[in-house]
Structure 1
Amino acid sequence: MRLKLVAVAVAALAPVVAMLAYNEVALRHQRNEEVRASAAQAARQASSEVERIVEGLHALLVSVSAMPSVRHLDVQACNEALKSVAESIPNIRTIFVVGLDGRPVCGSMAFPDGVVFSDRDYFKQTLETKDFSVGTYTQSRLSDRPVLPLAMPLMEGESVKALIVSGIRLDWLQNRITERGVAPGNAVTIADGKGTIVARVPLPEQFVGTVIPDEYQHLIHAEQPDVIEVTSQDGTVRILGYRPIALPSSPLYVSAGFSKPEAFAPINRATLMNTLAIIGGALFAFLAAIVIGNRFILAPISRIAEVMEKWRNGQTTARTGMTGPDELDVVGATFDRLLDELDERRRRNEQAEEERTLLVREMAHRVKNGFALVQAIARQTFSRSNPESYNAFAERLAALAGTYDLILSREGSAAPIREIISAALRAHIASQDRIRLDGPDVVLPADIALPLSLVLHELATNATKYGSLGSEQGTVAIAWKHDDGRVLLVWTEAGGPAVSTPTKRGFGSVLIERAFSSKAQAQSRSDYRPEGLVFEVVFLTGEPAAKTEGDVP
């Protein structure tokens, strides 16, 4: 019953758990979409800021190319002008003009002897495209600091006269990104066309100057921006929005990663709290189901069962004493009324049984008195004239009285079947020579011996009135077999008057059919042959017969 109560509690909690699970899934999906949108937006913002910086420096180089000292390659005036420009712009380290041979012409600082820039990628790209270009992560030969070089051709007509070169200070770019700030667990990465990281937040000292892993190199030159889920080099799972270099006006690769654990931390905390609340609620529901079930369901049921057990053990005064509007109290009260009614019926049955017993005893007394009166009349009539006949008559009369006494008292005990048959026929046959008994020794219990005695007495009575025992030469053969707890008894009459099938059934026939209890599973058959009645009855003795030596297994 407790398991059923727990099952009821589980069934009650199941819709709540299902609804919370659905809300959890929906909330996580919604949060995932929000984080993806935020990552894409952060990448766009970082990329836009980088584009503005590069675009500003592009405009600076355009302005420098228009300066007369630069256009005419006036070294002295050019040095002074470029030095003045470099000092006023904090995000560049140097600015200088390089000839087509790669050697510096003029600049904002003195040049080391023999320095040449013609091997630099940005130098070659600018000469080839005759357009503004952004280089890759470079260790400056002038300041020995990492920079992101920018180059612009100084045109004279359709020809390139020289190159104006500058470089974004990567420490300034790093500070600029750091100042923007990122949430814990998030990251912003800026890389050049070769995948070398030029700025990163957080842990710039660990990642700046390193190359993006090969499995993510394809993102740098992807055709379109996108948002994906990756495991970053620091081991953090992030939702990454990225902007590839292939986009128009996108000189650098920019990505913004949002830490998935951090992004989902509030939901995870809410999930944990909801889970704990569900577990607590479930434990409370189970405890309440057990406590309330014990108090209001199991205890009343146990009380009713206890009263039933006491009633079965003979304590007929036991009652539940339950009252109240509750359904189980109503059941208990109804059960008490039923027990009261059964007790009243038992009392009435006992009273009726006492009255019946008194009547049976009175009847037995009267029957005995009747037999005694018949015996007294017979004694006075011919005891002196024919003592031998009188003695035989008196013995048969006493046997008949004993049989009636057994029937009226319904008393009996276990006895051998041969003794039962002899006692039942003693009152009807003066000479035992007219009875033939044939069968094994079988002891019958009392509940079988009494009905068998009644059947034999009724058969003997009918044989005396209508059959073989009504004539001096008539005989009765009784044979029985015992096999595995079942007895087959055959009553065969012979030597009497001709027998015919009766036209109606009397009380004796009904008694013969219904004398045995249902437990005996008795079956009988009567065959009214002209030479005499043949009656067969088979019944159970209550237990299988014990095998003796010589029995076939």
Structure 2
Amino acid sequence: MRLKLVAVAVAALAPVVAMLAYNEVALRHQRNEEVRASAAQAARQASSEVERIVEGLHGLLVSVSAMPSVRHLDVGTCNEALKSVAESIPNVSTIFVVGLDGRPVCGSTAFPDGVVFSDRDYFRQILKTKDFTVGTYTQSRLSDKHVLPLAMPLMEGDVLKAVIVSGIRMDWLQNRITERGVAPGNAVTIADGKGTIVARVPLAEQFVGTVIPDEYQRLVHAEQPDVIEVTSRDGMVRIVGYRPIALPSSPLYVSASFSKPEAFAPIERATLMNTLAIIGGALFSLAAAIFIGNRFILVPIWRIADVMEKWRGGQTSARTGMTGSDELAVVGATFDRLLDELEERRRRNDEAEAERILLVRELAHRVKNGFTLVQAIARQTFSRSDPERYNSFAERLAALAGTYDLILSGEASASSVREIVSAALRAHVASEAEHIRLDGADVVLPADIALPLSLVIHELATNATKYGSLGSEDGTVAIEWKRDQGRVLLLWTESGGPPVSKPTKRGFGSILIERAFPAKARARSHSDYRPEGLVFELAFSIEEPAAKGDIESCSRETVHTSGR
């Protein structure tokens, strides 16, 4: 019952838990979409800033290319002009002009001896495309600092004359990104076309100069920007919004990543609080259900059950004494009235049983007196003229009287099948050896089975004497029995008597044979009225039913009960 009360409490809490779970899923989905949108927005903003920086330097190089000293490659004047420009722009390291052979022509700083730039990727790209080019993360040969090279062709008509080169200082770019700031757990990454990280916030010292892992290189050259969820090298799950370098306006790869644990921290805290609230509410509900159940449900039920057990134990005066208007009190009061009524019925049944026993004893006494009177008449009539036949008659009469005495008294004891059958037939045949054949194992029957079997055999013998083989001088009866798995199978076969036909109606004998055995015996019988004599089959159990399967198998037997 406690489990049922707990189940009721759980069922009451289930809708609340389901609603909270739904809200939890909905909030997480909504938060996930918000974080993804924020990551995409942060990536766009960072990319736009990088684009503005590059565009600014692009405009600077265009202006430089228009300077007369640069266009005419006047080395002295060009050096002074470029030095003046570079000193006024803090985000570039140097500005210089390189000839088509890769050797510097003029610049904002002095050139080391023998320095050439023909092996640089951006220089080769300029010779190939004759267009503005953003190089890759490299160490400057002029300042020994890391820079991001920018190169622009110096054209004279359609002819490439030289290459103007500058470079964004990586320390300046890192400081610029750092100044923008990021929330704890978030990160902004900028990488060149080869996937080398040129700036990162936070942990620049760990990541700048390293290459994006191979499994994420596809993002650098993806066709479209997107938002994905990844596990970064620091082991944190992040939601990353990225803009690839393949976009026309994206000179660099830019990504903005949000820490998923940090982003979901408010929801996790709310989930924890909701979970604790649910657990507290559940514990309170269960405690209340147990307390209320014990006080108002279990105690009354145990009280009723205790009275029932006492009643079974013989304390027929036990009562619940329950009164009140609640349902269980009404049940207890009704149960008390039922016990009062049962007690009254039992008292009346005891009185009726006492009267019945008195009548049965009186009937048994009168029947035995009748048999005694018949025996006295027979003795006076022909005991002297035919003593042998009189003695046979007297024995059979005494056996019949004993059988009726057993029936009327209802007394019996455990006996073997052979003893029961022999005792029941003794009143119907003068010599058992001439008319009866018994064949079977030594099977002992309990008292409550022995008496019904005696009644059935007596009824069969009576019918055989009146209509069958025992009424003929040459008639015989074969009785065979065996025990099979707790059941006794008995076969009664008549032969040598008058022709037999099936009776047109059921008599008292048929009903007696059908109902003589108690229900626990699960008795089954079948009568076959053959012309040469009756064949009667009987099966009954002498053990308590052990399993439901056994009962079901027995109930499937085809049963026909008849009598004569």
Asked if these proteins are the same fold (TM beyond 0.5), I'd say yes
Q: Counterpart of 1:210 in structure 2: which amino acid?
A: T
* Deviations 1:213-267, CA, capped at 9 Å, x for gaps: 3444343343332333344344444332222333333322222222334334444
Report the AA paired with residue 151 of structure 2.
A
Q: Give 5+ residue unaligned stretches, structure 2.
A: 483-487, 544-564
The SS at the match of 1:518 is coil
Tell me the distance in 2 between the aligned counterparts of 1:189 and 1:232.
12
AA of the residue aligned to 2:52: R
Which residue of 1 is the match for residue 451 of structure 2?
447
Using the TM superposition, give the Cα deviation of residue 47 of structure 1 relative to its aligned residue in structure 2, in angstroms: 1.0
1:518 aligns to 2:513 (yes or no): no
Distance 1:249 1:492 in 2: 118
Once residues 84 and 541 of structure 1 are traced to their aligned partners in structure 2, the CA distance between those partners, rounded to angstroms, is 125
Q: Secondary structure at the match of 2:195?
A: coil
CA distance in 2, matches of 1:152, 1:492: 131
Contact 2:424 2:457 in 1 (8 A): yes
- 3-state secondary structure, aligned to 1:110: coil
Look up the match of 1:337.
337
Deviation at 1:137, TM superposition (A): 1.9
Residues 80-159 of structure 1: pairs in structure 2 closer than 5 A = 80-98=80-98, 102-126=102-126, 129-154=129-154
Cα deviations across residues 135-193 of structure 1 (Å, max 9, x unaligned)? 32231222111112233445566656655433211101011111112233332222223
In structure 1, what is the equivalent of residue 314 of structure 2?
314
1:30, CA displacement in angstroms?
Answer: 3.0
CA distance in 2, matches of 1:505, 1:134: 118
Q: Residue 188 of structure 1 aligns to a residue in which SS?
A: strand
Cα displacement (A) at 1:341? 1.7
* Corresponding residue number in structure 2 for 1:548: none
Matches within 5 A, 1:521-536: none
Residues in 2 aligned to 1:93 and 1:288: alpha-carbon distance in whole angstroms: 77
Query: In structure 2, what is the Cα distance between the partners aligned to 1:70 and 1:434?
Result: 150
Judged with a 3 Å threshold, the aligned counterparts in structure 2 of structure 1 residues 437 and 292 are, in CA distance, closer, same or farther, namely: farther
- What is the rounded CA distance, in whole Å, between the counterparts of 1:12 and 1:416 in structure 2? 66
CA contact (8 A) 1:480 1:487 kept: no
Q: How many residue pairs align between the two structures?
A: 517
| Within-5 A mapping of 1:272-421 | 301=301, 303-358=303-358, 418=422
Q: Which moved more, 1:445-454 or 1:144-153?
A: 445-454
Contact 2:481/2:489 (8 A) holds in 1: yes
Report the counterpart of residue 61 of structure 1 in structure 2: 61
Q: Describe the shift of the 1:284–1:46 C-alpha distance in structure 2 as closer, same or farther (beyond 3 A).
A: same
Give the structure 1 partner of residue 198 of structure 2. Answer: 198
Which residue of 2 is the match for residue 238 of structure 1? 238
Distance 1:315 1:103, change over 3 A: same
Structure 1 residue aligned with 2:173? 173
Residue equivalent to 2:188: 188
Instruction: Tell me the distance in 2 between the aligned counterparts of 1:459 and 1:246.
Output: 113
1:497 match:
none
Contact (CA 8 Å) 1:458, 1:512: kept in 2 or not?
A: no
Residue 226 of structure 2 aligns with which residue? 226
Letter in 2 for 1:45: Q
Work out the CA distance in 2 between the residues paired with 1:525 and 1:146: 116
Q: 1:483 aligns with which of 478, 481, 484?
A: 481
**TM norm structure 1:** 0.69
Checking the alignment, whether the CA contact within 8 Å between 1:412 and 1:450 is kept in structure 2 is no
2: CA distance, partners of 1:267 / 1:171: 38
- CA distance change for structure 1 residues 72 and 306 in 2, over 3 Å: closer, same or farther? same
List gaps (5 residues or longer) in structure 1.
495-500, 545-553
Partner SS state of residue 198, structure 1: strand
CA separation of 1:79 and 1:337: change in aligned 2, threshold 3 A = same
User: AA paired with 1:190?
Assistant: I
**CA RMSD in angstroms, aligned pairs only:** 5.5
Q: Give the Cα separation in 1 of the matches to 2:48 and 2:432.
A: 134
Aligned sequence identity (%): 71
In 1, the alpha carbon distance for the partners of 2:162 and 2:383 equals: 175
Task: Give the CA deviation at 1:339.
Answer: 2.4
Give the TM-score of the pair, scaled to structure 2: 0.68
Are residues 156 and 334 of structure 1, via their aligned partners in 2, closer, same or farther at CA, if it must alter by over 3 Å? same
Larger radius of gyration: 1
Q: Counterparts of 2:464 and 2:146 in 1: how far apart (Å)? A: 135
Q: Does the C-alpha gap of structure 1 residues 48 and 268 become closer, same or farther in structure 2, counting only changes over 3 Å?
A: same
In structure 2, C-alpha distance between the alignment counterparts of 1:212 and 1:505, rounded to whole Å: 104
Distance 1:267 1:360, change over 3 A: same
In the alignment, is the contact (CA less than 8 A) between 1:410 and 1:450 conserved in 2?
A: no
1:481–1:488 contact (8 Å) kept in structure 2: yes
- Tell me, yes or no, if the aligned pair for 1:435 and 1:476 is still in contact at 8 Å: no
